Amino acid sequence: MKCSKCGTELESNVLVCPSCGQAVSDEDRLQEQYGGKELTKKEFIQLPAMKTCKGNITGCGIAFYILGAINLALELYMHVLPLDGILLILFGLGVHLGKSRICALLSAAYSIFGLVYSVATTGQRTGYLIVIVAIDAVIYTFKYQSAWSKYKKDGTLPVEKERK
């Protein structure tokens, strides 16, 4: 790897150029580490810049599992068809394991419909937590797929934004 300021050849683990003092950017380190190597989706999601997306997608999947299990238990207790619980668990699998935008969008549409139906028929707002989880799932699955598409198109690896 070369220094972007002075062109000095740098060792792979150096953080600052010994010649000019220029800090080595995260992007330069990532390109050195992964440049020229085709990443799989599994490797891509492990990149440091994808930590937030991965964490939120996993969190949404787990939330769907929990909400699905609660709905499933309530539906079985009330002796009704356990459709909601099963669907929530399936949405969780699609979002968590598949990072699927389609599952995220379907869960959002289904949960918003359920909330509107609940308000219209009973006057109570039930299911709003599912709507929140579904919207979060939509946001982060789209962010992930956008970053993946950009990588596949031009090889650009995502880098972490600097915190202030």
Quote the percentage of the chain above a pLDDT of 90. Answer: 60
In a domain, 18, yes or no: yes
Whole-number mean pLDDT of the chain? 88
Same structural domain for residues 15 and 64? no
Question: In the chain, which residue ranges form alpha helices assigned H by DSSP?
Answer: 26-34, 41-45, 51-77, 83-96, 101-122, 128-154
- Per the structure block, which two tokens stand in for 34? 């992964």
Domain that holds residue 6: 1-34
State how far the Cα of 164 lies from the Cα of 158, in Å rounded to an integer. 19
* The model's pTM: 0.78
**pLDDT tens per residue, range 113-153:** 999 999 999 999 888 999 999 999 999 999 999 999 998 89
- Interval 42-65 mean pLDDT: 93
Categorize the per-residue pLDDT at 20 as very low, low, confident or very high, splitting at 50, 70 and 90. Answer: confident
**30 vs 147: which has the higher pLDDT:** 147
60, 96: one domain: yes
The answer on 77 and 7 residing in a single domain is no
Those residues whose C-beta lies under 8 Å from the C-beta of residue 69, and which sit 6 or more positions away, are: 85, 89
Residue 93 lies in a domain: yes
Q: Are residues 93 and 147 both part of a single domain?
A: yes
Number of domains in the chain: 2
* Residue for token pair 């198109």: 153
Torsion of CA 132, 138, 140, 142, to 10 degrees: -160
Q: Which of 67, 80, 82 is nearest to 126 (CA)?
A: 67
